[in-house]
Amino acid sequence: MRMRRNLLALAAAVAFCLVAAWLCTSTKGSPKTYEVQPWITVPEYRTDAARAIDAYERLMDRYMDLTEKNLFSVGCDVRDAVKKLDSIDDKLTHLCARIARIEEALGIEQPVRSIEGPARSVPLERKPTDGP
């Protein structure tokens, strides 16, 4: 009987070990899965033509900005010139009126103006050129 008990205890120990091995996940060798979220991104591949097009677009943007600034500056200069010419025209009008009053007071006769317009320039005749 003693032998039977030893055999029974040995069988129970083996069965217990088999059940423990069966239930243990590390001995089963099941693969563990991990979820990885990348934090580093790789920039897109750009060809030389794409880089050249981008550089050309940037250059054109700068050129258009520069042109706009220059046109604004020219517009301001023209406006200032027009104001100056208007003031000169007003002064000449007042001066002509004053001279006309002075001439009238002194009895100076007004010069007769010709009805014809400004002198026309005569076009030059072309000389025939030598050659075919």
Mean pLDDT value across residues 32-41? 78
Report pLDDT digits (tens) over 82-99: 999 999 999 999 999 999
Q: Is the pLDDT of residue 59 over 90?
A: yes
pLDDT at 40: 81
Show the tokens assigned to 130.
């030598």
pLDDT at 84: 96
- Measure the CA–CA gap between 13 and 7, rounded to whole angstroms: 10
- Measure the CA–CA gap between 112 and 91, rounded to whole angstroms: 24
Q: Is the pLDDT of residue 129 over 80?
A: no
Q: What is the pTM of this model?
A: 0.41
- Residue carrying the six token digits 């003031």: 87
Residue 103's contacts (CB-CB under 8 Å, 6 or more residues apart) are: 110
- Measure the CA–CA gap between 98 and 101, rounded to whole angstroms: 5
